[in-house]
Amino acid sequence: MHDVPELLRAVSIFRELDADELREVAGICREEKFKSAEYIFREGETGNRLYLIVEGEVRISRVVPGSGEEALAVLKAGSLFGEMAVFDRHERSTDAISNGGTTCLTISRADFEMLLDLNRELAYKILWGTVRLLSGRLRSTNDSLRSFLAMSMF
């Protein structure tokens, strides 16, 4: 088994946790392995767990009618994904597909919510880490849209 607390420490939403808090989070993690081209989850499914890539890659994509699969990103070891559906309880917005075989740590929504309910200090740190993560993603999306709009004007 991997050094789960150390893997978690590198993830932005867990970065501010101390050693004891990291061990608490590690205690609710489960390891899952996926074969190459295996779907980890599909667009439209209910999202009930988040994933951290330990080994391998995950292709995030969606099917565009008339065009087929559009790959949006290829995530590498250390990347967190699937957390949006855990936080907002909406359906999955993309497909996640193992790219060549993947090992992930997973945390179920129920376990995650229980951990946050039982430890307010830990919850505070994780939620602020999540705000920073999502703010960074929003800023990146805004930059991409700005670039796209600038290019489309010519």
pTM for the structure as a whole: 0.86
CA-nearest of 123, 148, 122, 112 to 27 is: 112
CB 54 within 8 A of CB 31: yes
Q: What is the pLDDT of residues 116-140, one digit of tens each?
A: 999 999 999 999 998 888 888 888 8
Q: What is the pLDDT of residues 22-65, one digit of tens each?
A: 999 999 999 999 999 999 999 999 999 999 999 999 999 998 88
Domain boundaries, the chain: 4-149
CA distance 63 to 116: 34
Cα 18 to Cα 24, 93, 134: the distances in Å are 10, 32, 22
Query: What is the fold of 4-149?
Result: Jelly Rolls (2.60.120)
Task: Identify any residues that bridge with 59 across adjacent strands, giving them in sequence order.
Answer: 74, 97
